[in-house]
Amino acid sequence: MASLLYALVNLWRLLRNLLRGALGTPDYVVLEVSGGLPEFEPQQGLLRRLNPRNRLQPPTLEALRERLDGISSDGRPRGVVLRVRSLDAGWTALEELRMELYRFRESGGRVVAHLTEPDTRSYYLACAADEVLATPVSTVGVVGLGARANFLKDGLDRLGVEAEVIAVSPYKAAGDTFTRNDFSEESREQVERILDRRFEEVCGAIARGRDVTPEQARELVDNAPYPASEALERGLLDGVLYEDEVPGRLGGERSGAAKLAEWEVARKRLRLPYLRRSRKRVGIVTLSGTIVRGRSRRLPVPLPLIGGEQAGSESVIGALRVAEQSPAVGSILFHVDTRGGDALASDLIWREVERIRSEKPVVVLMGETAASGGYYVSAAVDHVVARRNTVTGSIGVIITRPVLAGLYEKLGVNPVALGRGARANLLDPTQRPSEDEIRVLRRQLESFYAEFKDRVSRGRKIPPDDLEEIAGGRVWTGTEALENGLVDETGGLRTALEKARELGGAKDGAAPVKIQPPKAARPLPGDPVREAVEAAREALGELRVTRLWAAAPYDISDEG
């Protein structure tokens, strides 16, 4: 039955392709590149997919990858024009798209990038193109990278709120947000090292794309920003023109203006790819956001340590079990993009991965961050792929113990606690922790940290003594993680898919399938405002209680 269905679909596509082949295609297809470039398309119902407004949403990496593949496989268009504007993507998303652009060029396609507001991020991406163009009055602001962390101690002091934080080492600095007003020496060293690695990546991209030495690239950055005309003189741009002038530039004097078409128009003329049947496919399960207990949810406003998007253990485990039970799924690609979160929730997901791995191969693809709890859940898999710019590691835990005594005093509230048992009021936030309570919490911390290191040591086959040198909350780029044995290779989605297909027996080119949690583990549909308020209330509740966290340092906003 399945073979007949594939044959009918391909027959229909053959007929459509004969018609489309007669229509002709544009010389260049215009692709919008903007927004945050999330990895995958969100799951939508039929009505939402048909809503024209949804087509105006910024593209995902998945959509851009499919569009480039479709243009390349058709073979008739000469290339693509990237309209790059309002780009706010993370460094691993930009790295992934750069790899796709080089792949498109290697297949014979030409890439032209037109920048409206050239900054470091958009220019880093554009350096993967054959030509880089910008509008005449723009400023090429390739000024480098910066990092900022927001420390809350002084603000909490004004409210009478404190936090007692116990960490495995000074490098495990997720709690510094609440207890310090500046970087510690160890944290500053880590942030500066990551900035150095990313700055090297940017300068290397400029050197490769503009055919200059890394030293010359660094000098160009150090002297930025430039008016577009000066950037053209210095070799950072190939042309300065408005978007409506691009067809004339690409066409040449003899052939006249090139024919350009937006994707929504061009896709109706491109030949459709034929389906390839495979008995086994790769199932993609995603973990995105702060790891919490229960179901996944999204907060209306990001909170310190808690974040905005939250990956609930029930939802992630539910999706993993769906993939495990599907006879069509031969292996699982586990996409992990998280700074970590709740230690218990991380352990529950880790256990599910370890159990399923004995039945089906599991490959992890790391996103922008896969640190602390994000690394914990990755430690048991068969193969780990990281991007070069991924931030990972942060093997360690902290305990946050809120102290609200000052707040109650400011409010004129006098809490009186009664109890039976020497430690009945052990975690009472209205009282300051005693020395005995600190000892109890540290014992809990050390016990979980020992388990964390054991999981990593066994999963990655790293001797415990060697692991000590790279654990303790230290964070690493994907390149450094590869050198330290924390990941198996650096690459992108195609690299991870190829490995998952190899381990799971899927044919090359077999399309992966995205796995959703069962209905019982999905966020409940309902009133968005009520859901947002309820999610925020639950998240604030997380901060009011003593909690063991496997979370990476800070929420660092890098600028460029």
What pLDDT digit, counting tens, does each position of 440-473 carry? 888 988 999 999 999 999 999 999 999 999 999 9
Question: How would residue 350 be classed by pLDDT, with cut points 50, 70 and 90?
Answer: very high
Q: First and final CA of the chain: distance in angstroms?
A: 54
Q: Give the per-residue pLDDT at 43.
A: 63
CATH number at residue 100: 3.90.226.10
The whole-chain average pLDDT of the chain stands at 86
Give yes or no for residue 553 having a pLDDT over 60.
no
Looking at the structure, tell me whether residues 327 and 379 fall in a common domain: yes
Please indicate, yes or no, whether residues 254 and 293 belong to a single structural domain of this protein. no
Q: What is the DSSP string of 494-515?
A: HHHHHHHHHHHTPPTTPPPEE-
- What pLDDT does 214 receive? 95
* Top-confidence residue, 485 or 547: 485
Q: How many residues does the chain have?
A: 560
The rounded Cα 206 to chain-centroid distance in angstroms is 23
pLDDT-based confidence at residue 9 (cuts at 50, 70, 90)? low
Same domain, 241 and 350: no
Report the pLDDT value the prediction gives residue 547, as an integer from 0 to 100.
54
Report whether 87 contacts 58 (CB < 8 A).
no
Together in a domain, 292 and 347 = yes
Q: Which residue has the higher pLDDT, 558 or 206?
A: 206
| Same domain as 239, residue 352 | no
- Whether residue 117 contacts residue 140, with contact meaning beta carbons closer than 8 Å, is answered with no
- Please report the pLDDT score of residue 150 as a whole number: 81
User: What is the band of 480 on the pLDDT scale with cuts at 50, 70, 90?
Assistant: very high
Inside any domain, residue 208: no
CB 522 within 8 Å of CB 516: yes
Please check whether residue 425 lies inside any domain of the structure.
Answer: yes
pLDDT at 372: 92
pLDDT in tens, 395-445: 998 888 888 778 777 778 888 877 777 777 777 777 888 888 888 888 988
Which residue, 501, 508, 515, is CA-closest to 361? 501
Partners of 261 in beta bridges: 29
In a domain, 9, yes or no: no
Report the candidate in 137, 147, 145 with the shortest Cα–Cα distance to residue 226. Answer: 137
Distance CA 558, CA 91 (A): 10
pLDDT of residue 7: 65
| 463 assigned to some structural domain | yes
**Is the pLDDT assigned to residue 14 strictly greater than 80?**
no
Task: Tally the C-alpha atoms within 13 A of residue 103's C-alpha that lie toward its C-beta.
Answer: 21
Residue 485 placed within a domain: yes
User: 17 pLDDT exceeds 70?
Assistant: no
Tell me the whole-structure pTM to 2 decimals.
Answer: 0.88
User: Is 171 part of a structural domain of the chain?
Assistant: no
Number of domains in the chain: 2
The confidence score (pLDDT) of residue 124 equals 97
CA 440 to CA 217: how far, in whole Å? 54
Edge-first strand listing for the sheet containing 79-87: 239-240, 131-134, 110-115, 79-87, 28-35, 260-262
| Residue 555 CB-half CA count within 13 A | 16
Same domain membership, residue 361 and residue 476: yes
- Range of the structural domain that residue 448 is part of: 281-552
Question: C-alpha angle with apex 488: 486 to 489, nearest 5 degrees?
Answer: 115
**DSSP reduced 3-state for 480:** helix
Rounded-to-integer distance, Cα 173 and Cα 190, Å: 10
Integer Cα distance of 254 and 365 in angstroms: 47
Does one domain contain both 244 and 387?
no
Of 445, 446, 410, 450, the residue nearest 430 (C-alpha): 410
* pLDDT at residue 138, rounded to an integer: 95
| Residue 402: predicted pLDDT | 81
Minimum mean pLDDT range among 141-150, 370-379, 475-484: 141-150
The predicted structure's pLDDT at residue 12:
62
Residue 431 is predicted with a pLDDT of 82
Q: Are 41 and 90 in contact (CB under 8 A)?
A: no
CA distance linking residue 473 with residue 252, whole number of Å = 56
What band does 306 get if pLDDT is binned at 50, 70 and 90?
Answer: low
pLDDT value for 305:
59
Asked if the structure places residue 509 within a domain, the reply is: yes
- Residue 65: pLDDT above 70? yes
How far is it, in rounded angstroms, from Cα 550 to Cα 498? Answer: 30
- Based on the fold, state whether residues 259 and 401 are members of the same structural domain: no
Determine, yes or no, domain membership for 158.
Answer: no
Residue type at position 87: L
The SS3 of residue 241 is: coil
Mean predicted confidence (pLDDT) in 529-543: 49
Dist CA 553 CA 265 (whole Å):
45
Q: Which helix (H) or strand (E) holds 393?
A: strand 391-393
